[in-house]
Amino acid sequence: MLSVALRHRFADFTLDAAFEAPDGLTALFGHSGSGKTTVVNAVAGLLRPHFACITDGDAVLTDSEGGIFLPPHRRGIGYVFQDARLFPHLTVRQNLLFGHWFTGRGRKAELSRVVDMLGIGALLSRRPAALSGGERQRVALGRAILSHPRMLLMDEPLASLDQPRKDEILPYLERLRDQAGLPILYVTHSPAEVARLATTIVLMDHGRVRASGPAAQIMSNPATAPMLGLADTGAILTARIRGQDADGLTWLSTPAGPLFLPQVAAPVGRSLRLRILAQDVMIATVPPQGISALNVIPAIIRDLTDAEGGVLVRLDAGGQAILSRITARSARSLDLHPGKPVHAVLKAVSVAPGTIGFSAG
């Protein structure tokens, strides 16, 4: 687990941030100028803050009070930047192995494991100029992993790619998150990337951490979720496939109860990450009848929070938080209040595509 506490003053800006990043992907999210890159630079050892205590498990990277400051090259950190920064005169294989002096069968096995994970086997003899932007970023990821880092720092790795290239690389980032078993600190401006990739979220604002914790908690908490943008506010659930019905529906079990989705192409037993956006959840005070929605979940209202002219209603469905975004008028006319039993009508549930076939079962 990466643990970060730091304070630093520039002429016009003060950073005062503390958070923890366990194994998995920790998204560092905030507006431009909120201090994300400064945090990453401090973790990398490119900035020596006025005060800092940065540790990874037992390893102390920076301890300003103890006078410890490991130089960047001794921190065991792999970087992936916005631009891939590959060596143009080397092939993909040479780029992947650059600077690695490990030899023999172990090296071959490891190279082929990483090459398979990133789907870059067909590219090994090409030079970077003959790769697409997405392919270059996959090679940059491979190079970072092969350096045996204790953690990965990614500073907006998708920012320079168009949407199709982003879609191409997202499943590999998910695989890395689930298989690499190390902390990934991932800087982004994109709520969609946070929602899809993050297992932990750190929300930054004006040099401070406004909230941090497990992604599912931050995204379904009405006090913190709107910082990511109301359109992306909603619950994240872990579900497991229980059956594939003959009429083309997939039956999933979730902490909130069973859900039915149009066919999910994955085997029974597979676990998946689901998103239920607050704007896709309606509330009924009596069990609805004669409606086409397949998924209606009994729940209890926990609280109501005003949000940009509407209301975010937090529901408790079997211990799982679900958010619903409705108008203030609906909240009044339905007499919604904490403790009231209701039914959540789910208009849409989405499955993170990368979890199909990849996520641990």
Q: Is 26 in the site for ligand ATP (CB under 6 A)?
A: no
Alpha carbons within 13 angstroms on the beta-carbon side of residue 83 total 6
Nearer to ligand ATP, 164 or 229 (CB): 229
Q: Convert residues 181-220 into a mask of x (bound to ligand ATP by CB under 6 A) and - (unbound).
A: --------x-------------------------------
Per residue in 221-242, is it b (16+ CB within 10 Å) or e — as a string?
bbebbbbbebebbbbbbbbebe
Q: Shortest approach of ligand ATP to residue 30 CB, angstroms?
A: 5
Phi/psi at 30 (5° precision): 175, 165
Q: Convert residues 145-184 into a mask of x (bound to ligand ATP by CB under 6 A) and - (unbound).
A: ----------------------------------------
Q: Shortest approach of ligand ATP to residue 25 CB, angstroms?
A: 18
**Pairing state of beta strands 310-317 and 249-254?**
unpaired
Among candidates 343, 287, 354, 295, which has minimal Cα distance to 315?
343
Contact with ligand ATP (CB under 6 A) among 34, 200, 220, 224: 34
Nearer to ligand ATP, 35 or 149 (CB): 35
- What is the rounded CA–CA span in Å between residue 36 and residue 17? 10
Contact with ligand ATP (CB under 6 A) among 5, 33, 167, 179: 33
Q: Is 226 in the site for ligand ATP (CB under 6 A)?
A: no
Q: Is 11 in the site for ligand ATP (CB under 6 A)?
A: yes
Contact 276, 234 (CB under 8 A): yes
Q: Which residues contact 301 (CB under 8 A, 6 or more apart)?
A: 313, 314, 315, 316, 336, 337, 338, 339, 340, 341, 342
Contact 275, 193 (CB under 8 A): no
Q: Shortest approach of ligand ATP to residue 37 CB, angstroms?
A: 3
- What is the rounded CA–CA span in Å between residue 273 and residue 251? 14
DSSP characters over 208-259: EEEEEEEHHHHHT-TTTGGGG-GGG-EEEEEEEEEEE-TTSEEEEEETTEEE
Three-state secondary-structure class, residue 41: helix
Nearer to ligand ATP, 32 or 292 (CB): 32
Contact with ligand ATP (CB under 6 A) among 24, 35, 149, 157: 35
Three-state secondary-structure class, residue 183: strand
Three-state secondary-structure class, residue 60: strand
Contact with ligand ATP (CB under 6 A) among 4, 29, 36, 49: 36
Q: Is 37 in the site for ligand ATP (CB under 6 A)?
A: yes
Q: Is 13 in the site for ligand ATP (CB under 6 A)?
A: yes
Q: Shortest approach of ligand ATP to residue 26 CB, angstroms?
A: 15
Site size with ligand ATP, rule: CB under 6 A: 12
Q: Is 10 in the site for ligand ATP (CB under 6 A)?
A: yes
Q: Is 8 in the site for ligand ATP (CB under 6 A)?
A: no
Nearer to ligand ATP, 11 or 360 (CB): 11
Q: Shortest approach of ligand ATP to residue 302 CB, angstroms?
A: 32
User: Which chain residues interact with ligand ATP by CB under 6 A?
Assistant: 10-11, 13, 30, 32-38, 189
